[in-house]
Structure 1
Amino acid sequence: MNLETQPALMRDRFYPRSRQTVRAARDFAVETLDAWGVGRRRHDVSLCVSELATNALRHGVPPGRGYRLRMLRFEGVVRVEVHDSGPGLSRLRVGAGRGLVVVAGVADRWGAVPRSPGKAVWCEFDV
């Protein structure tokens, strides 16, 4: 998907470094899907938002910082991005947590891209 050439709907929200924000992020994702009229894959999107937000809090959000949840809607695709300011790129690792394994198994596509500072971990769902 070429994000630069396709028109999209976009919503995002910033969350402070707190475990309680995972539920708020999940609720925001469901609210966004409802606003866009997307019922298909709702559970999958919600699950992946939980996993990516938790991953950001555990590994990517330094004290005093937060993370951003961004959702985009393209023709037939919903994209979820979680932006944090921590170092390194997220990747599947043996012996690590299961969050990215869940995302890789549930989403149609996923990846991570560097930002300054930090990274954005994303996943996409064909809807």
Structure 2
Amino acid sequence: MTSLHSPEPAEATAPVREFAMRFSSTPRGARLARRLVSHRLDDWGYGYDSPLNDTLALITAELAANAVRHGHVPGRDFAVRLTERPDVLRIEVSDTRTERTPPTALHIPSADAESGRGLLLIAALADRWGTAPRPAAPGKTVWAECRR
């Protein structure tokens, strides 16, 4: 598990497979992103009931929900990119809001808090994760990787 401040790994090898799509910055767009990532993983041989499909679908749901809730800019979509490399599956969710970045340190919310656990969940599920500026566009990308 890696924290937010981990550098984004170098793209040493080209993706074996890739799925990328833009979604409306709405709760419906976030649900669709989760569903399509799960479908794509199933197409790639990671069945709906496999641990990797479950994990990456849940991570996608959390990152997409955060993009909608915290990264929303009216009239702008968020983007999802799923890549498969020989040793890792990587999910990236990019939004166009530059000034709102994830916190620099994770904190545990109070027991009665109604939100604030999404990044803790991602940190627990992913082997590595972090943030990066969005290349050639305003905004940021939050990414997570799971070893195959």
State the TM-score, normalized to the length of structure 2: 0.78
Q: Which runs of 5+ in 2 are unaligned?
A: 1-8, 110-114
Distance 2:42 2:87 in 1: 15
Distance 1:61 1:85 in 2: 7
Preserved CA contact (<8 Å) 2:25 2:67: no
Match of 2:66 in 1: 55
One-letter identity of the residue aligned with 2:130:
G
Q: Does residue 80 of structure 1 match 2:87?
A: no
The two structures, once aligned, show a CA RMSD in angstroms of 1.6
- Higher-Rg member (1/2): 2
Structure with greater strand share of residues: 1
Could you list the structure 1 runs, at least 4 aligned residues long, displaced by more than 6 angstroms after superposition. Answer: none
Distance 1:24 1:77 in 2: 23
Q: Does residue 114 of structure 1 match 2:121?
A: no
Q: Which runs of 5+ in 1 are unaligned?
A: none
Distance 1:10 1:86 in 2: 24
Q: Does residue 124 of structure 1 match 2:145?
A: yes
Alignment partner of 1:38 out of 46, 49, 58: 46
Distance 2:31 2:128 in 1: 23
State the TM-score, normalized to the length of structure 1: 0.90
Distance 1:79 1:90 in 2: 18
Preserved CA contact (<8 Å) 2:88 2:146: yes
Q: Residue 126 of structure 1: CA displacement?
A: 0.7
Alignment partner of 2:25 out of 12, 17, 32: 17
Aligned length: 126
Q: Secondary structure at the match of 1:10?
A: strand
Q: Residue 99 of structure 1: CA displacement?
A: 1.1
Q: Residue 93 of structure 1: CA displacement?
A: 4.2
Provide Cα deviations, 1:1-28, integer angstroms capped at 9, x if missing partner: 531x302111111001211112211111
